[in-house]
Amino acid sequence: MEPLPFKQLVKDQFNHLSAGQKKVANYLIDNLDKAAFKTAFQIGQQASVSETTVIRLSYALGFQGFSQMQDLIQRQMLLQNQTAAAASSIQPTDKHVFTKVIENQIDILRNLLDTANIQEIWKAVEALIKADQILITGHRISHAAAYWFSYMLSTIREQVNLCSTSGDFFEKFSNLTKDSVVVVFSFPRYSNETIKIAECAVENGITLISITDRLLSPAGRISDIILTTEENAETGTNSIASVISLLDLVIEGIQQKDQERILSYQQKLEKLYTTFNVFNE
């Protein structure tokens, strides 16, 4: 069986780590390429903890020791570098500013096909199909993607609600059950309101899906299912294009898995559209 990606291992165990181990985990996640060939002592220095804490982290993550953890990191970094090298070999030589934007999006989209990402997407698809209700929220920069996703979901299933920016969360949340799903969109700078909603879902035992920029974002670290689009390393910003592409995969997965119910629901919608002359066709 293929081992889980290191980032996923950290995410799964993060809440069970000690404060010192969390500091090491955060450092490794943010600096995997640099840390891949450092000693436990050097990593401890960079993370401001002891060498022993680094070694204890490896045990906490299920490894037999630091060397085994580092071996996994090195192998996964090598595979990632090989993929990047293959992509760069076919990139155009014209480094126009717009070309760079497109190339960056291609790299982000290619990462979505990582095995761990695909597994999480299918988990999200199953949860969204089974949910009796879906509540979606995203504030500030994240609201546009949340609105788009809520609209698209509402065209293929019932009981989809979006928290508005005017603050109607409490009224909508009060109707949720243990079979419901909360979906939060959380990108830098992370909105405290979104994080509080995510925490509320966890406290009430409601399945939480987060769409965010990294596994250990404030919402990501407490979510049951996390879908990520890695941030642009050069600018530190996220593009909504990659987020929408990720959501397209989720929508497509639902359509593939729940065709019969979707067809019945869309037939009802089309009758209403026709009755009220909704579209100019």
At residue 208, the pLDDT reads 97
Average pLDDT, integer, range 116-121 = 85
Note the pLDDT of residue 130.
Answer: 97
* pLDDT class of 37 with cuts at 50, 70, 90: confident
Domains of the chain: 6-90 (1.10.10.10), 115-272 (3.40.50.10490)
- Residues 168-171: contacts with CB under 8 Å, at least 24 apart: 169/137, 169/197
Q: What is the pLDDT of residue 89?
A: 53
Q: In this predicted model, what pLDDT tens digit does every residue of 39-95 receive, in sequence order?
A: 899 999 999 999 999 999 999 999 998 888 888 888 887 776 655 555 555 555 555
Average pLDDT over residues 159-168: 86
Q: How confident is the model at residue 3 (pLDDT cuts 50, 70, 90)?
A: low
Tokens at residue 125, please?
Answer: 């698809």
Check pLDDT > 90 for residue 29.
no
DSSP 182-237: EEEEE-SSPPHHHHHHHHHHHHTT-EEEEEESSTTSTTGGG-SEEEE----TTT--
Per-residue pLDDT tens over the stretch 248-269: 999 999 999 999 999 999 999 9
The 3-state DSSP class for residue 280 equals coil
pLDDT at 72: 86
pLDDT tens readout for residues 215-242? 889 999 999 999 988 654 444 456 788 8
What pLDDT sits at residue 281? 63
Residue 204 pLDDT: 95
68, 61 Cβ separation under 8 angstroms: no
Nearest CA to 38 out of 11, 74, 82 is that of: 74
Q: What percentage of residues in the chain have a pLDDT greater than 90? A: 51
- Per-residue DSSP letter, 160: E
pLDDT band at residue 2, thresholds of 50, 70 and 90? low
Question: What is residue 218's predicted lDDT score, i.e. its pLDDT?
Answer: 93
- Buried b / exposed e along 80-110 (16+ C-beta atoms within 10 A): eeeeeeeeeeeeeeeeeeeeeeeebbebbee
Here the tokens at position 87 are: 């992509």
Q: Which CA distances in Å does 252 have to 43, 126, 194, 246?
A: 42, 12, 26, 10
pLDDT average, residue stretch 132-144 = 93
Mean pLDDT taken over the chain: 85
